[in-house]
Amino acid sequence: MCPAGECGYHAAVLEIRVERSEATDYVQLCPEGELDAYSVAQFRESFAELGGEPRLIVNLGGVQFMDSAGLGALIGGIRKVRENDGRIAVFCDRANITRLLHTTGFDRIVPVKEVLEESVAALDEDPS
């Protein structure tokens, strides 16, 4: 038996939490682990379930790695939330992921903040 990562096998390592709190007026989608081609289906499914939320924070603080598939799923989820007239922002305090979001221009389509409170405040900004 080959260990994970050898023999062409890759174990999808992604946990997803959804945080709802009566004290806040937003929901957080919190993927943790690797957001890549192997785990993106799970992320898409969780994101789709939250597509009708009026105020959503995608908390990428627990994501160690994201590839183009993960970025594509993130864009698709954002589109779904906006189609339902929801507000969305991204929180990420991980330099490698934040750099990816800025380099690809992702931060021009949705607010990307390195402090959670700034992401929450961005939900009240005019999205245009």
1-44 tens-digit pLDDT: 444 445 454 555 899 999 997 888 999 999 999 999 999 999 99
9 assigned to some structural domain: no
Question: Does residue 6 sit within a domain?
Answer: no
CATH number of the domain where residue 53 is located = 3.30.750.24
Angle formed at CA 44 by CA 34 and CA 36, multiple of 5 degrees: 25
Q: Quick one: pLDDT at residue 23?
A: 84
In a domain, 37, yes or no: yes
CB under 8 Å, gap of 24 or more: what pairs does 9-17 form?
A: 10/38, 11/38, 12/36, 12/38, 12/39, 12/42, 13/39, 14/39, 14/42, 14/43, 15/62, 16/42, 16/43, 16/46
Neighbours of 106 (CB within 10 A): 17
**AA letter at 90:** V
According to the model, what pLDDT value does residue 57 have?
Answer: 97
Write the pLDDT tens digit of every residue in 36-59: 999 999 999 999 999 999 999 999
128 part of a folded domain: no
Question: Looking at the 3D structure of the chain, how many domains does it have?
Answer: 1
